[in-house]
């Protein structure tokens, strides 16, 4: 009888521990969910409708002929920080009004700084530049793009519209295009995946190559040569089904509010927690490796400019590419117009002093406001297009 009572006692203890553990996990889940729900309500990016679509090679692009909006607001205090209209033309480029499509010989490429995150289409630097030139300027900026995605997207658009001038404003886009380390995973797991595809088998799960949802730069550790690799075929689409999206795609309104809170955000948190706890080991590239990535990126664009006979304007506010030019490691520089850190400091930073804060930066967001965008347009106009300086507008 005592043995039976003892077994019952042990069973009760185990049951009690299980109940406590499950209850604790539920409470922790509710706390985490509640925290993200509060953050989302207090500072919420909202969309009239999604203006992004999945792309198997680039990760994602903007939809064509879209009529949408982008709002940043607090649903708790009801304060609206910005409320902007989002229109794209039949190329998928941002415009100032719906249905506005004009062929241009000038293409502006980049990320959210070019797109004009937090401002209207007629408050972006490509728009202000178009007014100075009295001719259209294509705005092909896509929020949160890395330089590898930007290059592939620009290449496809250059083949379509054959521009005479391509303007690239970058504030460190290359940093979003580093293949996650350890890089050996891409060689081994990538080869296995490709062999599986060739044999008609399913893609092997696991490995950093399998997790890569956007194009990235991979460095050979023997000779430090860089190559651009794309996501494995079908990988982006399969990942999105599991609520794991290409980097930056959420900025174009893919997720509903509740899906973001209950599915997408928790997965991102768990992934980040694994890295912090050392369960997932990721290594950061050295500055030496980043230098080689920037060199590869710049030469890719210059090679594209040479082959397609266009003028490549590199706007480099942080001076990330200057040393490459100083070291004479850039090819086909005859197609390059470089606007560097000193030009930016003189014509944008200094001239923005005293400007209303909302014109300098988008409230509660940090992207360039319409005043800064106007100065950028003036800088590019003066350095590239004007015979005489024109900073009056």
Tokens of 330: 């850039």
3-class SS at 309?
coil
**CB contact burial 226-243 (16+ within 10 A = b; e otherwise):** bebebbbeebbeebbeeb
**C-alpha pair distances (Å), 231 with each of 157, 193, 277:** 20, 11, 27
pLDDT at 216: 95
Report the alpha-carbon distance of residue 202 to residue 200 in Å, rounded.
Answer: 7
Which residues does the chain have with pLDDT short of 70?
A: 1-8, 29-42, 187-206, 249-282, 387-393
Query: CA 36, CA 47: separation in Å to the nearest integer?
Result: 18
- DSSP secondary structure letters along 259-282: HIIIIIHHHHHHHHHHHHTTSS--
Q: Are 322 and 206 spatial neighbours (Cβ–Cβ below 8 Å)? A: no
User: What is the structure's pLDDT at 182?
Assistant: 84
Decide: pTM greater than 0.85: no
Helix count (H) and strand count (E) of the chain? 14, 13
Give the count of alpha carbons within 13 A of 115, CB side only: 26
56: Cα within 13 Å, side-chain hemisphere: 6
The interaxial angle of helices 370-380 and 125-133, nearest 10 deg, is 50
| Closest-CA residue to 86 (of 134, 144, 142, 35) | 142
Note the pLDDT tens digit of each residue in 33-55: 665 565 666 678 888 888 988 89
> Coil, strand or helix: which one is 173?
helix
What pLDDT is attached to residue 55?
92
Tell me how far apart the alpha carbons of residues 351 and 374 are, in angstroms, rounded to a whole number.
11
Distance CA 251, CA 225 (A): 33
In 3D, which of 74, 79, 85 has the Cα closest to residue 118?
A: 85
């Amino acid at each position: 009888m005592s043995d039976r009572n003892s077994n019952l006692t042990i069973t009760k203890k185990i049951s009690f521990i299980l109940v406590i553990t499950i209850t604790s996990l539920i409470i922790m889940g509710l706390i985490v969910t509640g925290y993200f729900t509060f953050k989302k309500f207090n500072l919420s990016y909202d969309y009239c409708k999604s203006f992004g679509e999945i792309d198997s090679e680039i990760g994602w692009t903007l939809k064509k002929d879209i009529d949408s909006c982008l709002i940043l607001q607090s649903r708790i205090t009801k304060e609206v920080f910005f409320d902007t209209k989002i229109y794209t033309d039949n190329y998928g480029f941002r415009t100032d009004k719906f249905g506005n499509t004009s062929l241009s010989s000038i293409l502006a490429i980049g990320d959210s700084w070019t797109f004009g995150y937090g401002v209207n289409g007629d408050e972006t630097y490509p728009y202000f530049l178009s007014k100075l030139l009295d001719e259209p300027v294509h705005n092909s900026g896509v929020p949160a793009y890395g330089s590898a995605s930007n290059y592939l997207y620009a290449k496809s658009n250059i083949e379509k519209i054959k521009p005479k001038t391509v303007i690239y404003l970058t504030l460190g886009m290359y940093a979003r295009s580093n293949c996650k380390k350890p890089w050996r995973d891409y060689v081994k797991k990538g080869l296995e995946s490709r062999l599986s595809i060739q044999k008609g088998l399913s893609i092997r799960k696991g490995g950093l190559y399998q997790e890569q949802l956007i194009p990235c730069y991979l460095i050979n550790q023997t000779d430090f040569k860089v190559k651009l690799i794309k996501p494995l075929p079908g990988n982006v689409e399969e990942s999105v089904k599991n609520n794991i999206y290409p980097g930056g795609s959420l900025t174009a309104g893919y997720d509903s509010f509740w899906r973001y809170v209950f599915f997408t955000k928790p997965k991102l948190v768990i992934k980040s927690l694994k890295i912090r706890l050392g369960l997932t080991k990721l290594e950061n590239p050295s500055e030496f490796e980043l230098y080689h990535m920037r060199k590869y990126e710049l030469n890719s664009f210059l090679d594209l400019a040479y082959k397609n006979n266009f003028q490549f304007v590199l706007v480099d506010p942080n001076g990330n590419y200057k040393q490459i030019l100083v070291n004479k490691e850039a090819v086909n520089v005859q197609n390059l117009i470089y606007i560097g850190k000193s030009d930016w400091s003189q014509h944008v930073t200094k001239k923005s002093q005293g400007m209303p804060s909302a014109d300098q930066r988008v409230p509660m967001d940090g992207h360039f406001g319409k005043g800064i965008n106007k100065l950028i347009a003036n800088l590019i106009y003066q350095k590239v297009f004007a015979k005489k300086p024109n900073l009056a507008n």
